[in-house]
């Protein structure tokens, strides 16, 4: 997922100025931080509360490294994505959306194909706008990740492979950069508020439980899933 997303950026004509470098940096940083957690992270510490609690007690987990790493790189990438538009306020909002999206995709990557489906659903409306002529830059940023999803989702649904933090973080960061380059300030505020609310909700409520209890979501979640 990460490699396909980055490769797509090398050949896709990205606009506005700075979109390609922002997307490349955001996806690369998110995937590296995700790989760190995949390869060396402890599985007994979960969620923001768990990792921040460990940090408060003097223990630095890979989860907390990833958290602050995503925030730092998100701010840098957000500034690059909004270059020449909106100043510091827009840069901070965009940075929050990039970092939050990367983390959010990882929160959904708890069942085969779920993170990829959420990415596709979240990308649908912006992509329809691009096709209808409202060129915003979203489509060119997410073209590579869309190709990567196409190439990986079959194995993911069949449980022959999984995205892990590496792939999910990359996918979420790509969507976040696409949002950062294409949305108005009002759109960024609304998106960041929604991401923040869902992140806080995930600390108290199981997304998987909610999906299982909601028939339409349960149907979409299980669509195409099969055991290898």
H helix or E strand, kind and range, residue 22? helix 19-40
Burial class, 205, CB count within 10 angstroms (exposed 0-12 / middle 13-18 / buried 19+)? exposed
Q: Please, which pLDDT band fits residue 170 given cuts at 50, 70 and 90?
A: very high
pLDDT digit string, tens, across residues 178-222 = 999 889 999 999 999 999 999 989 888 888 999 999 999 999 999
List the domain range (segments joined by +) for residue 202: 2-222
| 122 falls within a domain | yes
Question: Measuring CA to CA, which residue among 56, 15, 61 is closest to residue 36?
Answer: 61
Q: How many CB atoms lie within 10 A of CB 7?
A: 13
| 27 falls within a domain | yes
| 23 falls within a domain | yes
Q: How many CB atoms lie within 10 A of CB 49?
A: 11
| 227 falls within a domain | no
| 150 falls within a domain | yes
Helix (H/G/I), strand (E/B), else coil: 83: coil
- In the chain, the number of structural domains is 1
Counting residues of the chain whose pLDDT is more than 70, the rounded percentage is 86
Question: Measuring CA to CA, which residue among 120, 164, 150, 155 is closest to residue 227?
Answer: 155
State the pLDDT at residue 44.
Answer: 64
| 148 falls within a domain | yes
| 228 falls within a domain | no
| 192 falls within a domain | yes
pTM for the whole structure: 0.88
């Amino acid at each position: 997922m990460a490699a396909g997303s980055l490769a797509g950026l090398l050949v896709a004509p990205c606009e506005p100025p700075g979109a390609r470098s922002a997307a490349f940096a955001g996806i690369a940083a998110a995937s590296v931080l995700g790989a760190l957690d995949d390869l060396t992270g402890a599985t007994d510490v979960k969620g923001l509360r768990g990792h921040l609690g460990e940090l408060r007690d003097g223990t630095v987990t890979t989860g907390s490294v990833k958290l602050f790493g995503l925030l730092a790189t998100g701010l840098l990438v957000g500034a690059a994505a909004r270059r020449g538009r909106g100043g510091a306020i827009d840069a901070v909002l965009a940075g929050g959306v990039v970092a939050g999206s990367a983390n959010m995709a990882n929160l959904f990557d708890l069942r085969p194909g779920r993170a990829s489906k959420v990415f596709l659903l979240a990308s649908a409306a912006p992509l329809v706008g691009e096709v209808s002529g409202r060129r915003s830059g979203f489509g060119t940023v997410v073209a590579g990740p869309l190709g990567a999803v196409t190439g990986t989702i079959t194995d993911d649904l069949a449980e022959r492979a999984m995205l892990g933090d590496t792939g999910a973080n990359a996918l979420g960061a790509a969507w976040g950069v696409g949002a950062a380059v294409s949305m108005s300030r009002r759109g960024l505020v609304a998106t960041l508020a929604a991401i923040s609310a869902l992140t806080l909700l995930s600390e108290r409520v199981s997304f998987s439980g909610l999906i299982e209890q909601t028939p339409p979501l349960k149907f979409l979640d299980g669509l195409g899933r099969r055991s290898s």
